[in-house]
Homo-oligomer: A and B are copies of this chain.
Amino acid sequence: MAGTMIQKMRTRGDQENEIYIKRDDLLPFSMGGNKVRIADAFLNDMRKSGCDAMILYGSRHSNLCRVLSNLCFQNSVKCVMICSHEEEEDDEATNNTHLIGWTGTETVHCGKKDIAQTVDRVTEDLRAQGYRPYYIYGDRYGQGNEGTAAMAYAEAYREITAFEREQGWEFDYIFCPSGTGATQSGLICGHLLAGDRAKILGIMISSREKERAFRVISQGVRGYFAKTGQALPENFEDEIVLLDGYRQGGYGVYDDRIRACIRREYCLNGLPLDPIYTAKAYWGMQEYLREERISGKRILFLHTGGTPLFYDFLAKEGTKEEKC
């Protein structure tokens, strides 16, 4: 996996913090994003497990499902996507929907209560066809494979520490959007192993209960340390920080403050941010820095990609005659 660059951002009156951004939106596969690293970790884990078919679960708007369906196609790996009805905020097709469609990935629809049974059924079907299937989330209840997704950013963290060594200083804060928690748990693992000063802050972008989000991240960190046979530091849970004050109406809901943030960061930094994940997190970061009167610090924002969602936004909202 080639690394991605860290760029200094131009800012407007942000308490004189130095803001940097890690451009994981430019990972060179399937329109980029954090899911490229995570999908890679799943494919490697599938192979190590002696399996040859992948079972995904997600909505047809999902960034992870886009990248995984693409990666499976590229590697001629059988792929079945379990698609929950209720996950879909609305039924409109998005860029990710189209791209998943191009790969011809087999899709099985199910209600949200029926996921476990559907995982079982798809697993049995694939076995009957001679495959050894791998469900990315572990068991039928989606448990047991948290360490694999965390691995992606535990490893990517080395790119951050390499950058810090080059610069001769360390970041004070690292911000990321916190959705499934996989990226944040990976960053925490990397931070624990590096023993550096950075405080990692996840900006919650959905209305997922904070305690549940905390638990999932904790499981990710435990899973990674167990998987790699390393000693898990005591009090590691102190490193899990979730900021829940910036989710606006919950997953996919956003107002004019997010719209303005998207336009501003495009105009000022030539950067695509999407309203569901990255712009909400970027805006949340700016709000937090202001509210907490943080200044004179070096701050890294992890751009987790989702560029297809930026273009969904642009197609939908670009016509409004708004300026930066």
List residues of A whose CB falls within 8 A of some B CB. 2, 5, 7, 10, 23, 26, 28-32, 67, 70-71, 73-74, 93, 95, 97-99, 101-104, 263, 266-270, 272, 307-308, 311, 314-315, 318-319, 321-324
Contacts and interface: CB of A to CB of B under 8 A. Distances in A.
Contact of A319 (B10, B29, B70, B93): B93
A73 B268 contact: yes
A314 B270 contact: no
A61 to B, nearest CB: 13
A177 to B, nearest CB: 19
Given A26-B28, A31-B272, A324-B104, A266 B314 contact: no
Nearest to A317: B98
Contacts of A2: 5
Nearest to A322: B102
B30 A101 contact: no
Given A323-B104, A324-B102, A324-B103, A270 B318 contact: no
B267 A103 contact: yes
A70 B93 CA distance: 29
A80 to B, nearest CB: 15
8 contacts: A7-B28, A10-B74, A70-B267, A74-B267, A101-B321, A101-B323, A103-B267, A104-B323
Given A102-B267, A268-B74, A324-B73, A318 B95 contact: yes
Given A73-B324, A324-B73, A102 B315 contact: no
A310 to B, nearest CB: 9
A71 B269 CA distance: 9
Q: Which 4 A-B pairs have the closest CB atoms?
A: A98-B318, A30-B270, A29-B270, A311-B311
Contact of A26 (B26, B99, B104): B26
A29 B26 CA distance: 10
A255 to B, nearest CB: 18
A95 to B, nearest CB: 6
Given A29-B270, A74-B10, A270-B74, A311 B101 contact: no
A5 B3 CA distance: 11
A292 to B, nearest CB: 28
A314 B5 contact: no
A93 B317 CA distance: 12
Given A23-B28, A26-B28, A93-B318, A266 B70 contact: yes
